[in-house]
Chains A and B, each alone.
Chain A
Amino acid sequence: MDLGLKGKKAIVTGSTKGIGRRIVDLLADEGCDVGICSRDAEEVEAAVAELKKKGVNAVGGEVNVRDGDAYKAWLETTAEQLGGCDIFIPNVSAGGGMDSEKNWWKNFEIDVLGTVRGVETLMPHLEKSDAASVVVISSTNAVEFFVGPMAYNAMKAALLNYAKQLSQFVAAKNIRVNSITPGPVYFEGGAWEMIEGTMPDFYKATLKQIPSRRMGSPEEIARVTVFVASPAASVLQGANVVADNGFTKRVQY
Chain B
Amino acid sequence: MRRNVKDTIVRDYGKLDELRDVKVPRVRPEDSPETPAGKAPDPELGTDTIAHARYYDHEFMKLEWERIWTRVWLLACREDDIPEPGDYVVTEMGPESVLVVRQEDGGVKAFYNVCQHRGNRLRGPGIGSAKTFKCAYHHWEYRLDGSFENIPDLETFPQGAPCRGLEEMRCDTWGSFVWYSFNPEVEPLLDFLDPIPQHLAPYNFDRMALTRDVTIEWDCNWKTSVDAFNESYHVQGIHPQLLWYLDDYNIQIDCYERHNRYLIPFATISPRVKLPPDVPPAIKAIMQEAGMDPADYDGKIKDLRVNIQKFKRKHGADQGKDYSRLNDDQLTDDYHYLIFPNITLNIHADDLMLFRQRPHPTDPDRMYFDVQTYELIPDGEEWPERPEHGQFKHGDKSIGLVLDQDAFNLPTVQQGMHSRGYRGLWIGNQELRIRHFHKVIDDYIYGPDGKPPGAL
Contact = CB atoms under 8 A, between A and B. Distances in A.
A23 to B, nearest CB: 15
B10 A199 contact: no
B30 interface: no
Contact of A193 (B7, B8, B276): B276
Contacts of B10: 196-197, 200, 203-204
A171 to B, nearest CB: 33
Interface string B283-307: 0100010000111101010000000
Given A189-B277, A191-B276, A197 B13 contact: yes
Interface in A79-95: 95
B281 interface: yes
B294 A97 contact: yes
Given A196-B11, A197-B10, A198-B244, A102 B293 contact: yes
B9 to A, nearest CB: 7
Contacts of A188: 273-274
Interface string A25-47: 00000000000000110000000
A198 B293 contact: no
A125 B140 CA distance: 99
B240 interface: yes
Contacts of A2: none
Tell me which of B7, B8, B10 has the highest count of chain A C-beta atoms within 10 A of its own C-beta: B10
A200 to B, nearest CB: 5
Contacts of B277: 17-18, 95, 189-191
A99 B295 contact: yes
26 contacts: A18-B277, A40-B300, A95-B277, A95-B278, A97-B279, A99-B284, A100-B293, A101-B295, A102-B295, A102-B296, A103-B295, A106-B295, A189-B274, A189-B275, A189-B277, A191-B276, A191-B277, A193-B274, A196-B10, A196-B11, A197-B10, A197-B273, A198-B281, A199-B281, A200-B9, A201-B7
Given A200-B8, A201-B7, 19 more contacts: A40-B300, A96-B278, A97-B294, A99-B294, A100-B293, A100-B295, A100-B296, A102-B295, A189-B274, A189-B276, A191-B277, A193-B274, A194-B273, A196-B10, A197-B241, A197-B243, A198-B240, A198-B244, A198-B282
Interface of A: 17-18, 39-40, 64, 66, 95-97, 99-103, 106, 188-191, 193-194, 196-201, 203-204
